[in-house]
């Protein structure tokens, strides 16, 4: 049996692995494993690292997450408050851009690396590399520049700005600054030893824009975001919306080698569009895992794997697993995926 | 082309281009030359225009969400302006309280739904984001609302005790559960059409078109009680 790292290595080199790899996006669940609140959990990088280690020991999935929470990107740029619920991901509690002037004032430089958010994340990466790195690939995540303004100024204000005729220059300036940030972040993550970066771009999904708009407006920023690092190890993530309509342009023009579709995307269609030019990761609709019984879990996992497994180049995944999914359901899902995913 | 259709087409084009001033100019000219009354504009121009836009976005994938947000704001503003010129009692289908669940700071979807409901002649009171169950119910009682809409973008706020479930419990506690209906919406509900049942809500909608239909239905049910 291959290690998880070998499994991904085989997949990325175009070979058939021993089985379909299983990506399970367990994040805040680490706090439960460590017996602490979500706020305490994220206050120290070592908490997250050891939480991830315990989760892998418990469930046996194939990747470790060196990622804290999306709002920490905003913290690196000066957001003074994140809101930590008891049972879900933290939220941005302080929007740093309230006016066009704030966009001009926003500075993107290496000072982001001195922030506590970044330093704690480096600790997580370091521990995970030492403890699990030989056996498991380490994942982290960034928000694409096309979507990032929403966490800096709030989505409504951002959308209003997009349609303010005289604000074109400010809009482009903010995209530019966000892209500089993404370049710096990706470079720092890869240098720290992360194997794969999930590139999260929710505002570029079909939930927000049309395929034509995507090509015209989002794709150029995707290119810019990976100018420094290139696309090796980058995984394009749906961010909660369908991306099959965007896949033809992504596959042809983005340079990304892996596409993490949405549960509402058709898996066979995605594989057909990608056509061997990259990997397809297809997630289970994990909101339904809150209520699914064992048989429903089994049926759904087997369906996903049967639709994507043939010919290789396929990963079974989840979205952002809700905190309330019962442990036995998580175990069931992963065990069935491992069984059904055998080649 | 008849006058109504002409104004509808011109207004829709202006709104679709997110040109608020042009949209307002078209409505003003219809009023000025006496072609259409404010009532006719509300019923035959404003309301069908925003529903068509919603259809184009959801069904035809032609419009973007950002565009839809701006268009729904234009539509809502035109509605408020025209409502100043008509008998509000006749043109008011009822009061709907909208807010985002406690602990959740996402307000975009709720705002779109509010604007579209407003354009369909409901009086919408938007009480913002991060709203406690008590505030939802207090506001509904104070304004004689028959529907409370609770929006959530995250799963833990969608099904948590401080979200729609808490609103239903609070209504129950005050003996108002059969008088005030609760609807839910937001991303988690789109991933599981059974999820709303976990909250105890009376209905849910995946988008603003459906929200209007669900509110219409619940209002009728309420009227028949």
Whether residues A163 and B106 touch (CB distance < 8 A) is answered with no
Question: Would you give the distance in Å from CA B82 to the centre of its chain?
Answer: 17
Whether residues B66 and A323 touch (CB distance < 8 A) is answered with no
Mean pLDDT, rounded, of chain B: 91
Cα distance between residue B31 and residue B27, in whole Å:
6
CA angle, A40 then A42 then A44, to 5°: 85
Average pLDDT (B17-40) is 92
- In this structure, the strands spanning A91-92 and A82-83 are antiparallel
| B103 touching chain A per CB within 8 A | yes
pLDDT of residue B54: 81
pLDDT in tens, B90-112: 778 999 999 999 999 898 889 99
The answer to whether the beta carbons of residues B213 and B93 sit under 8 Å apart is no
**Which of A89, A208, A263 has its CB closest to that of B65?**
A208
pLDDT of B224 strictly over 70: no
Which residues in chain A touch residue B103, judged by CB atoms under 8 angstroms apart? 83, 85, 88, 91
Say which DSSP state B42 is in: I
Which residues in chain A touch residue B107, judged by CB atoms under 8 angstroms apart? 156
pLDDT of residue B1: 52
CA distance A69 to chain B (A): 14
Residue with tokens 């690939």: A137
**Sign for the pseudo-dihedral over CA of A220, A172, B111, A236:** positive
| A37 touching chain B per CB within 8 A | no
Cα distance between residue B113 and residue A223, in whole Å:
34
| A48 touching chain B per CB within 8 A | no
Say which DSSP state A100 is in: H
pLDDT of residue B86: 84
Using DSSP's 3-state secondary structure scheme, residue A260 falls into: strand
pLDDT of residue A271: 97
CA angle, A53 then A56 then A62, to 5°: 120
pLDDT of residue A332: 98
pLDDT of residue B223: 60
CA distance A36 to chain B (A): 18
Give ipTM to 2 decimals: 0.86
What does the buried/exposed string (b/e) look like for B59-83 if buried means 16 or more CB atoms within 10 Å of the residue's CB?
eeeebbbbbbbbbbbbbbbbbebbb
| Sequence-separated (6 or more) residues with CB below 8 Å from residue A326 | none
Report the run of H or E that residue B94 belongs to, with start and end: none
Report the run of H or E that residue A168 belongs to, with start and end: helix A168-192
Q: Provide the Cα torsion A11, A17, A20, A25; round to 10°.
A: -50
Which residues in chain A touch residue B58, judged by CB atoms under 8 angstroms apart? none
pLDDT of residue B56: 80
pLDDT of B2 strictly over 70: no
Burial class (CB in 10 A: 0-12, 13-18, 19+), B17: middle
pLDDT of residue B209: 86
| B59 touching chain A per CB within 8 A | no
HSE toward the beta carbon, residue B76, CA cutoff 13 A = 19
Which residues in chain B touch residue A163, judged by CB atoms under 8 angstroms apart? 18, 66-67, 70
SS3 track for B9-35: HHHHHHHHCCCHHHHHHHHHHHHHCCC
pLDDT of residue B87: 74
| Sequence-separated (6 or more) residues with CB below 8 Å from residue A26 | A52, A55, A59, A61, A65, A321, A330
Q: Provide the Cα torsion B31, B36, B38, B42; round to 10°.
A: -130
Which residues in chain B touch residue A155, judged by CB atoms under 8 angstroms apart? 106, 108
Say which DSSP state A217 is in: I
pLDDT of residue B63: 79
Residue of chain A whose alpha carbon sits nearest to that of B102: A85
Which residues in chain B touch residue A93, judged by CB atoms under 8 angstroms apart? 105
Average pLDDT (B119-138) is 95
More confident residue, B60 or A96: A96
pLDDT of residue A66: 98
pLDDT in tens, A188-242: 999 999 999 999 999 999 988 889 999 999 999 999 999 999 999 999 999 889 9
Give pLDDT < 50 ranges for chain A: none
């Amino acid at each position: 049996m291959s290690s998880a790292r070998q499994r991904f290595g085989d997949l990325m080199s175009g070979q058939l692995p021993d089985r379909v790899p299983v990506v399970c996006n367990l994040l805040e669940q680490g706090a439960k494993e460590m017996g602490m609140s979500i706020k305490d959990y994220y206050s120290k990088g070592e908490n997250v690292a050891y939480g991830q280690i315990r989760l892998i020991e418990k469930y046996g999935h194939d990747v470790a997450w060196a990622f804290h929470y999306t709002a920490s990107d905003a913290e690196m740029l000066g957001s003074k408050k994140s809101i930590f619920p008891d049972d879900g991901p933290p939220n941005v509690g302080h929007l740093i851009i309230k006016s066009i002037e704030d966009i001009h004032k926003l500075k993107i430089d290496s000072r982001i690396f001195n922030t506590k958010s970044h330093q704690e994340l480096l600790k997580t990466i370091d521990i995970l590399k030492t403890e699990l790195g030989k056996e498991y690939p380490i994942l982290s995540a960034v928000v694409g520049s096309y979507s990032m303004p929403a966490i800096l100024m709030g989505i409504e204000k951002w959308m209003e700005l997009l349609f303010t005729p005289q604000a074109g220059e400010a809009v482009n300036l903010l995209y530019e600054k966000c892209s500089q940030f993404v370049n710096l972040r990706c470079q720092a993550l890869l240098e720290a030893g992360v194997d794969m970066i999930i590139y999260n771009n929710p505002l570029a999904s079909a939930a927000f824009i049309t395929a034509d708009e995507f090509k015209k407006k989002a794709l150029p920023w995707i290119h810019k975001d990976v100018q420094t690092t290139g696309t090796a190890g980058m995984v394009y993530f749906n961010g909660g919306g369908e991306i099959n309509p965007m896949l033809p342009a992504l596959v042809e023009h983005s340079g990304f080698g892996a596409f993490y579709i949405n549960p509402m995307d058709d898996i066979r269609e995605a594989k057909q569009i990608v056509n061997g030019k990259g990997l397809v990761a297809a997630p289970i609709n994990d909101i339904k895992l809150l209520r699914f019984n064992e048989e429903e879990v089994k049926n759904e996992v087997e369906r996903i794997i049967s639709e994507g497994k043939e010919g290789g180049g396929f990963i079974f995944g989840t979205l952002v697993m809700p905190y309330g999914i019962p442990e036995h359901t998580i175990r069931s899902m992963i065990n069935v995926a491992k069984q059904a995913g055998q080649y | 082309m008849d006058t109504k259709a002409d104004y509808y087409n011109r207004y829709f084009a202006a709104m679709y281009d997110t040109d608020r001033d042009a949209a307002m100019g078209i409505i003003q000219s219809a009023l000025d030359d006496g072609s259409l009354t404010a009532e006719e504009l509300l019923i035959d121009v404003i309301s069908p225009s925003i529903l068509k836009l919603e259809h184009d976005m959801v069904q035809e994938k032609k419009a973007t969400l950002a565009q839809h947000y701006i268009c729904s704001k234009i539509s809502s503003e035109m509605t408020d302006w025209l409502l100043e010129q008509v008998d509000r009692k006749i043109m008011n289908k009822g009061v709907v309280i909208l807010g985002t669940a406690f602990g959740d700071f996402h307000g975009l979807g709720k705002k779109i739904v509010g604007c579209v409901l407003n354009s369909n002649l409901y009086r919408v009171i938007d009480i913002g984001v991060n709203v406690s169950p008590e505030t939802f119910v207090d506001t509904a009682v104070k304004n004689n609302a028959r529907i409370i809409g609770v929006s959530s973008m995250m799963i833990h706020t969608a099904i948590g005790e401080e979200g729609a479930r808490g609103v239903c419990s609070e209504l129950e506690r005050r003996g108002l559960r059969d008088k005030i209906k609760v609807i839910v919406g937001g991303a988690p509900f789109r991933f599981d059409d059974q999820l709303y049942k976990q909250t105890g809500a009376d209905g849910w909608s995946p988008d603003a078109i459906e929200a209007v239909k669900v509110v219409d239905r619940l209002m009728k049910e309420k009227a028949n009680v």
